[in-house]
Amino acid sequence: MRLVANGEPIMAVARKMGISDSLIHAWRKTNDKGEKKTDQSLQQEVDSLRKQLRQSEMEREILKKAVAIFSRQT
C-alpha cells in the first residue's frame, strides 16, 4: 500500500508482488473506509498466521507418516 500511496502504479506494484491488481484495489477500498489496521494488530495477525502454518505443517507431516505406515501393511 505504501508503494501505491507513494505514487507507484497499481499494475507495477501488483506485478512486483505477484498478485492481481484487483486485490490492491480491494485493499485500497477497504482502507478508504477507515478500516485501518495498526502495526500491532498486523503483527498479531502475522503471528497468528505463522502459528496456524506451523500447526498445518505438523499435521501434514503426521499424515505423511501415517500413509507410509499404512501402505507398508498391505
Structure confidence by residue, pLDDT tens digits, 20-62: 888 888 888 877 665 566 788 888 999 999 999 999 999 999 9
d(C-alpha 1, C-alpha 14), whole Å? 10
Domain total of the chain: 2
Does residue 26 sit in the same domain as residue 41? no
Residues 41 and 71 in one domain: yes
Is residue 67 located within the same domain as residue 41?
A: yes
Residues 13 and 28 in one domain: yes
C-alpha dihedral (27, 40, 44, 1), degrees to nearest 10: 20
Taking alpha carbons only, the member of 36, 16, 18 closest to residue 27 is 36
Residue type, 74: T
Q: Which residue range(s) make up the domain with 11?
A: 1-36
What are the start-end ranges of the H helices in 1-74?
Answer: 2-5, 10-17, 21-32, 39-72
Same domain, 32 and 48: no
User: pLDDT tens for residues 61-72?
Assistant: 999 999 999 998
